[in-house]
């Protein structure tokens, strides 16, 4: 089997994961760069989807615009996997849930506290926790919390949600503490403003001490040491980041 990889954004973990998995299972990957494909520019997304469906057995798309993945899925006649968009990162969160299950022995009833920007990872984590019967708390500065459409979707699953601007409130007695970068790919022009907005949202040992004693710490990487996480936090006993 052949899996096509369309990656508009840089990737280490996602790219290597699919490459290694396909090779271990006896398949192959075909990497296609933005210059080669030009989704919606060189040719319409619908045409790209239908052409690739004649050659490959599946497609992984890592794009900026979420709508690009939606259109690829609509017109492709082979399976389409969302490898990340500006709105969601479901593959990352699948590995997160597996890690939590492995470390905690289950999922239902656990409390996950997310500190920082309600980005694509946060959106997917919020939705997944709601489906799996976990309490999800998110602490973000004003204007950086989850969008209403994501919250509405989570509430349909009966998820227990807490939205706050107070990181300490979110972390209290949590089983899992999670954070991500303050500035995502494509937001580099906002980096200085975001650093100022998120200055009080760094995850450090003081914040970890408010969670349960056996809390685990997670981060999808890449991490900015000294920004969203304190120096040395990835090496702390609570960190499961490299297993994740």
Angle of helix 90-104 relative to helix 120-131, nearest 10 degrees? 50
Domain ranges of the chain: 2-84, 90-235
Instruction: Write down the CATH number for the domain with range 90-235.
Output: 3.40.50.1370
1-55 confidence digits (pLDDT tens): 999 999 998 899 999 999 999 999 999 999 998 888 888 788 999 999 999 999 9
Instruction: Write down the CATH number for the domain with range 2-84.
Output: 3.40.50.1370
Q: Look at phi and psi of residue 116 and say left if phi exceeds 0, alpha if psi is from -120 to 50, else beta.
A: left
Q: Look at phi and psi of residue 143 and say left if phi exceeds 0, alpha if psi is from -120 to 50, else beta.
A: left
Mean pLDDT of the chain: 96
Report residue 39 CA to chain centroid gap. Answer: 22
Name the H helices within 59-166: 66-75, 90-104, 120-131, 148-156
Q: The whole model's pTM is what?
A: 0.93
Whether the domain at 2-84 and the domain at 90-235 fall into the same CATH topology: yes
């Amino acid at each position: 089997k052949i899996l096509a990889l369309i990656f508009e954004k840089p990737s280490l973990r996602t790219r290597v994961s699919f490459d290694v998995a396909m090779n271990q299972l006896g398949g192959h990957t075909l990497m296609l760069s933005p210059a080669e494909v030009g989704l919606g520019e060189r040719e319409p997304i619908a045409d790209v989807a239908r052409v690739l469906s004649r050659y490959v057995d599946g497609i992984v798309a890592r794009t900026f615009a979420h709508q690009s993945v939606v259109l690829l899925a609509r017109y492709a006649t082979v399976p389409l996997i969302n490898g990340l968009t500006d709105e969601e990162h479901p593959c990352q969160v699948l590995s997160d849930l597996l890690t939590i299950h492995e470390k905690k022995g289950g999922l239902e009833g656990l409390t996950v506290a997310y500190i920082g920007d309600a980005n694509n990872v946060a959106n997917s984590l919020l939705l997944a926790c709601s489906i799996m019967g976990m309490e999800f708390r998110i602490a973000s500065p004003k204007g950086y919390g989850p969008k209403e459409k994501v919250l509405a979707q989570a509430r349909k699953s009966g998820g227990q949600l807490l939205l706050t601007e107070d990181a300490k409130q979110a972390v209290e007695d949590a089983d899992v503490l999670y954070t991500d970068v303050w500035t995502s790919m494509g937001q580099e022009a906002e980096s200085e403003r975001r650093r100022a907005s998120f200055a009080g949202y760094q995850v450090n040992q003081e914040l970890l001490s408010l969670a349960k004693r056996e809390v685990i710490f997670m981060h999808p990487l890449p991490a900015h040491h000294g920004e969203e996480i304190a120096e040395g936090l990835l090496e702390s006993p609570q960190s499961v980041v490299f297993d994740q």
